[in-house]
A and B are shown apart, each in its own frame.
Chain A
Amino acid sequence: MTWTDQGDTCSCVLLRLGERRFALAADQVAELAAPSRIFRFAHKTPEIDGVILRRGRVVPVCDIAETLTGKRLTQRRFYLIATRRQPTGLDWIALPVSGECELIQADLTPAGPSDSPHVSAWLSHQGEVIEVLNLYALTPGVVPHTSQTSAQVPEAQAC
């Protein structure tokens, strides 16, 4: 993507977490889904609540509200299914959101060195300055272009 360093116009999805709104680059959003059953099993990644089944995929659920607003979401109205590019392909992750999402076009201001790692850019919408989120800083897992891969499960098929 080039928008983070150019300050260009970009399609973004606005999402609501409690009282606050955040944005995510639209090309990182797969769909908005109604809440469905969460399957939980033993694991050691505290940021992950469990997984949902979506279109034959197993999608981990990661509540980012606590990191961003200091409070867990009391009401999950939808799951915003986002994608992250990984060395092994696209990885899906479900972000619980507390309200409707909105697709907008906005001019982005690149994040500065003093901004938190979870901010990839800023946008202004209806008089509100909104953080455009960097999913890689907010959600656990492999970041692109690192050597750690899912090769530890060689028999498994990618989702």
Chain B
Amino acid sequence: MRLAAPPKSPVARSEQIILFRAGGQLFAISSASVQEVRSVDSLAGVAVPVNETTLAKVRHAIPRTGRNLYVVNAPLHFGLRPTPAALIFLLRNSRIALLVDGIEKMTTMTRLLALPGAFCHEERAWYRGLTVLDQNVVPVVNPAGFLSAQEISQLDAFAAQQTLADGNAAARPEVTA
């Protein structure tokens, strides 16, 4: 009699991730969701200020092909203490750019664990899940969780108003004595 072959273990799907720090803490993001990594210095003169007071985590926008990319301060988004940002991630297929402290390393994750049900607030939108790397638990961020569609619309409306106000100010003739 032949013994049945043992069931094959499912092939682990791996995913390239970027480990980065924000607010001094470690996070992971799928490298496929990051289109560009730039130094914050490269944004000097490009980024325009956004003073929408209800969204403190967004202070700048980057005009790109007729639309704004909104720069989200990652520590403020996660409720962490603000830290000086060195890098900016421009997210793929997204209108979000992310200010981070720096990149720790690039690596591969083979397992993404669901966020336990006990976590029941905003973090459910922040994270795709958790991964274990070198005996450390690292949250894997959800690239779509930084700004909701409603927040992007709100920022668009604010930016349009701001542009209009700036245009009017520029068109107004100077008062001469």
- Give the distance to chain B from A45, nearest Cβ to Cβ, in Å: 5
Known interface pairs A44-B123, A53-B135, A53-B137; A158-B114 also in contact (CB < 8 Å): yes
Contact A53 B132 (CB under 8 A): yes
Does B55 lie at the interface of the complex (its beta carbon under 8 Å from any beta carbon of A)? no
- Give the distance to chain B from A143, nearest Cβ to Cβ, in Å: 10
Q: Which positions 122-159 of chain A face chain B at CB distance < 8 Å?
A: 139-142, 150, 152-153, 155-159
What is the CA–CA distance of A41 and B26 in the complex, to the nearest angstrom? 8
Contact A42 B123 (CB under 8 A): yes
- Give the distance to chain A from B50, nearest Cβ to Cβ, in Å: 23
Q: Which residues of A contact B127 (CB under 8 A)?
A: 153
Known interface pairs A39-B136, A41-B137, A44-B123; A139-B128 also in contact (CB < 8 Å): no
Does A62 lie at the interface of the complex (its beta carbon under 8 Å from any beta carbon of B)? yes
**Total B residues in contact with A, Cβ cutoff 8 Å:** 34
Contact A48 B113 (CB under 8 A): no
Contact A44 B121 (CB under 8 A): yes
- Give the distance to chain B from A13, nearest Cβ to Cβ, in Å: 20
Choice from B26, B111, B114 contacting A153 with Cβ under 8 Å: B114
What is the CA–CA distance of A43 and B139 in the complex, to the nearest angstrom? 10
Q: Which residues of A contact B132 (CB under 8 A)?
A: 53, 58
Contact A44 B79 (CB under 8 A): yes
Q: Which residues of A contact B115 (CB under 8 A)?
A: 150, 153, 156
Contact A139 B118 (CB under 8 A): yes
Contact B25 A42 (CB under 8 A): yes
Does A86 lie at the interface of the complex (its beta carbon under 8 Å from any beta carbon of B)? yes
Question: Nearest B residue to A46 by beta-carbon distance?
Answer: B121
Interface-centre pick from B80, B118, B132, B136 (highest chain A CB count, 10 A): B118
**Total A residues in contact with B, Cβ cutoff 8 Å:** 33
Does B85 lie at the interface of the complex (its beta carbon under 8 Å from any beta carbon of A)? no
What is the CA–CA distance of A159 and B115 in the complex, to the nearest angstrom? 8
Question: Nearest B residue to A139 by beta-carbon distance?
Answer: B118
Question: Nearest B residue to A41 by beta-carbon distance?
Answer: B139
Interface-centre pick from A39, A60, A93, A158 (highest chain B CB count, 10 A): A39
Known interface pairs A153-B127, A156-B113; A42-B137 also in contact (CB < 8 Å): no
Question: Nearest A residue to B26 by beta-carbon distance?
Answer: A41
Does A88 lie at the interface of the complex (its beta carbon under 8 Å from any beta carbon of B)? yes
Contact A39 B23 (CB under 8 A): no
- Give the distance to chain B from A55, nearest Cβ to Cβ, in Å: 12
Choice from B25, B111, B116, B128 contacting A41 with Cβ under 8 Å: B25
Does A17 lie at the interface of the complex (its beta carbon under 8 Å from any beta carbon of B)? no
Does A59 lie at the interface of the complex (its beta carbon under 8 Å from any beta carbon of B)? yes
Contact B118 A45 (CB under 8 A): yes
Q: Which residues of A contact B124 (CB under 8 A)?
A: 150, 152-153
Known interface pairs A43-B119, A45-B121; A150-B114 also in contact (CB < 8 Å): yes
Q: Which residues of B contact A107 (CB under 8 A)?
A: none
Q: Which residues of B contact A48 (CB under 8 A)?
A: 118-119
For the complex of A and B, list the 3 residue pairs with the smallest distance between their C-beta atoms, beginning with the closest. Answer: A156-B129, A42-B78, A44-B121
Binding site for A on B (CB under 8 A): 23, 25-27, 78-80, 111-130, 132, 135-139, 142
27 A-B contacts, Cβ less than 8 Å apart? A41-B130, A42-B79, A42-B123, A42-B126, A43-B123, A45-B119, A48-B118, A48-B119, A51-B130, A53-B135, A58-B113, A58-B137, A59-B116, A91-B116, A91-B118, A93-B118, A140-B118, A140-B120, A141-B116, A142-B120, A150-B114, A153-B114, A153-B129, A156-B113, A157-B111, A157-B113, A159-B116
